[in-house]
């Protein structure tokens, strides 16, 4: 893989996808924004290009974006995870797919409601098939922090069964300006996915707009 | 409840129980250490008393300790959770029981393996019955940090369906020198329980002896 793979952001018109697109575009990665509507994808790309004139950003439909990406990042609500992955599965063979899905089930989004499969990341792996290198990440980052021009005060836990793919995604996390922790197999994604509901509850209870998490006890990693 | 309730530590001869006993005894709480063996409980209490002569510490069997406690804190391995709770259930009616159980299943303790019930805290509530006020906490704290004479660099997530009991446990967490977050219903305990396996994996991978977690984004709480 080239040092700067093309990153497709599926659901890239949303807050999380848009924020990641902005950070990676700024870091010099070619970006393809995918949307269910090719027009909306193109419009989001035009807007991002306007704010980062030096960046390479295009926009299109989700499947076409997945086809164009070397790495495919899926940033859609839980309710859209299955249809979205089914729509792009044919374009993802052999690729790294970064699933960011958190199993929030409205209206009780502050209540942990893990799916029977264990976690959303395992649903993604099942839908995409074994030939696709699924990694999960970015569950706990408040999307509003991504568009701010400073370090994000939240670590990113990265899960995957394919160790090479997981390490590659950890590098992409750091390229986006966050500290990445390789945090075990895909099944461990349940921890970060569940934690998001806890953070939403803490936001409400303590009046914090975007609580995050940091791993502590780590002098060797610069904290 | 008195400002300084008597705290029974079930499984109090272990690292987590012993560390919590030391911190609460030092903070002036009367402590009863329970063990499967009344002799071992008494021996652990004698040792703790020797290091904290002003403290009120006794030791006995688990059921007797639970009977003597106003608050009962259960610190046993997952494999012992069910028999231990069955042994003390008759002594816990109406009381706050703090369950600290993490569903680690050796040898893969760094792999998230949540139980079919959802989490260990819900197992505790089922075993103890609705008349007992189950709260879960302390899942992520490395026991080795508790016996150190400084602030613990790990926040404590506190879960419970009984809001008054949860608030009381949050105060006990802070009395032990840790920052507590009321983090939602008992079902949310899955997040903290799963996170412990992630932290164990991070300890191994990054050579950190006792990784912990902090909630970020919280200027109003002094971080």
For testing contact with chain B, the best of A148, A170, A195 (most B CBs within 10 A): A195
Specify which residues A157 forms β-bridges with: A181
What confidence tens digit (pLDDT) does each residue in B174-193 have?
999 999 999 999 999 999 99
Is A3's pLDDT higher than 80?
A: no
SS3 assignment for B8-76: EEECCCCHHHHHHHHHHHHCCCCEEEEECCHHHHHHHHHHHHHHCCCCCEEEEEHHHHHHHCCEEEECC
Chain B hits for A188, CB-CB cut-off 8 Å, are 110-112, 194, 197-198, 201
What are the distances in angstroms from CA B97 to CA A210, B16, B91, B126?
Answer: 31, 16, 10, 12
Q: How far apart are CA B125 and CA B24, in angstroms?
A: 24
Tell me which residue range forms the domain holding A210. Answer: 7-217
Please report whether residue A206 resides in a domain.
Answer: yes
Q: Does B222 have pLDDT greater than 60? A: no
Looking up residue A145, the CATH number of its domain turns out to be 3.40.50.720
Per-residue DSSP letter, A57: E
| pLDDT at res. A192 | 98
A113 lies in some domain:
yes
In a domain, A114, yes or no: yes
Cis status of the peptide bond prior to A70, with omega within 30 of 0: no
The pTM is what?
0.96
B107 is a domain residue: yes
Asked whether residue A183 is assigned to any structural domain, the reply reads yes
Can you tell me the distance from the alpha carbon of A118 to that of A123, in angstroms, rounded to the nearest whole number? 8
Please indicate whether, in this complex, the C-beta atoms of B215 and A205 are within 8 angstroms of each other: no
pLDDT, tens only, B87-136: 999 999 999 999 999 999 999 999 999 999 999 999 999 999 999 999 99
Question: Average of pLDDT values for A132-161?
Answer: 93
Q: Is the pLDDT of residue A219 over 70?
A: no
Residue A147 lies in a domain: yes
Examine residue A95 and state whether it is found in any structural domain, yes or no. Answer: yes
How many domains is chain A built from? 1
| Torsional sign, CA B172, B173, B179, B181 | negative
How high does pLDDT run on average in chain A? 95
**Which pair of structure tokens corresponds to residue A110?**
């502050």
Neighbours of A110 (CB within 10 A): 20
Asked if residue A222 is part of any domain, the answer here is no
Of A187, A217, A218, nearest to B112 by CB-CB distance is: A187
Q: Return the structure tokens found at A219.
A: 């002098």
Residue B207 contacts A where some CB pair is shorter than 8 Å: yes
């Amino acid at each position: 893989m080239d040092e700067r793979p093309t990153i497709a952001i599926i659901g890239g018109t949303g807050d999380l996808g848009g924020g990641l697109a902005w950070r990676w575009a700024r870091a010099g990665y070619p970006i393809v924004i995918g949307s269910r509507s090719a027009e909306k994808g193109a419009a989001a790309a035009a807007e991002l290009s306007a704010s980062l004139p030096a960046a390479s950003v295009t926009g299109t439909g989700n499947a076409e974006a997945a086809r164009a990406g070397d790495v495919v990042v899926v940033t859609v609500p839980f309710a859209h995870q299955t249809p979205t992955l089914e729509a792009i599965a044919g374009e993802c063979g052999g690729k790294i797919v970064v699933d960011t899905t958190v199993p929030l089930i409205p209206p009780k989004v502050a209540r942990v409601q893990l799916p029977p499969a264990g976690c959303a990341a395992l649903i993604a792996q099942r839908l995409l098939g074994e030939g696709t290198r699924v990694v999960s990440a970015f569950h706990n980052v408040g999307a509003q922090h991504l568009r701010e021009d400073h370090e994000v005060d939240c670590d990113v836990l990265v899960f995957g069964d394919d160790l090479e793919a997981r390490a590659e995604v950890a590098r992409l996390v750091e390229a986006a300006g966050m500290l990445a922790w390789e945090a075990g197999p895909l099944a461990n994604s349940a921890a970060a996915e569940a934690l998001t509901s806890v953070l939403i509850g803490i936001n409400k209870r303590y009046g914090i707009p975007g609580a995050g998490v940091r791993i502590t006890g780590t002098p060797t990693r610069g904290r």
